[in-house]
Amino acid sequence: MEKLRPARDKWRDIIFCSVVVFVVIADQVTKALIRASLLPGEVFVDFGFFQIDHIQNTGASFGILKGYSLLIIVIAIIGVLVIMYLALFMRNRIAFLRNNWVIVSMAMVTAGTIGNNLIDRIRQGHVTDFLDFKIWPAFNVADMCTVVGAIIIAYRLIFYSGLFKSKDD
């Protein structure tokens, strides 16, 4: 029975790393297509409630911390290192981290952070956003993955971790 655990751990590592690589590639390819096709501020298609356009975001999510790229990069590096440490080295000590949904979600958050806050900011000094619902700040693939990953982690924490169960349960 002990031989199954290392094989399962190896698969979790492969899943984690594969999701990170896939999301970073998808994010960077979509942004490269936007940068190659549109000038900053130009709109590709407008459906009234949704448009695809080229926005250069120098701040963090929702435009906060504009002009603080170095701070955002440092926070992103720390965040990526913490998540990778938890996902790859602490999962056998914390039962919550052994769940495949949590591993995939942590990979999505890691990839989003790498795609937006590290690659783009270091290479260009800003993040390329292009999905714009007009009532919400524009975003990109990395943003979507970060938010969806965080929502899944929160959901799993609330409903499956046992952290929020009452003593009467």
Is 129 marked active-site? Answer: yes
- pLDDT tens for the chain, 169 residues: list them: 445 556 767 888 899 999 999 999 999 999 999 999 999 999 999 999 999 999 998 887 766 777 788 888 899 999 999 998 998 888 778 888 888 899 999 999 999 999 887 899 899 888 999 999 988 889 999 999 999 999 999 999 888 766 666 555 4
Is 46 marked active-site? Answer: no
DSSP code at position 135: S
| CA end-to-end span of the chain | 32
Domain ranges for the chain: 4-160
Q: Which of 46, 143, 168, 169 is catalytic?
A: 143
Q: Which of 53, 129, 168, 169 is catalytic?
A: 129
Question: What is the C-alpha separation between 35 and 107, in angstroms, rounded?
Answer: 26
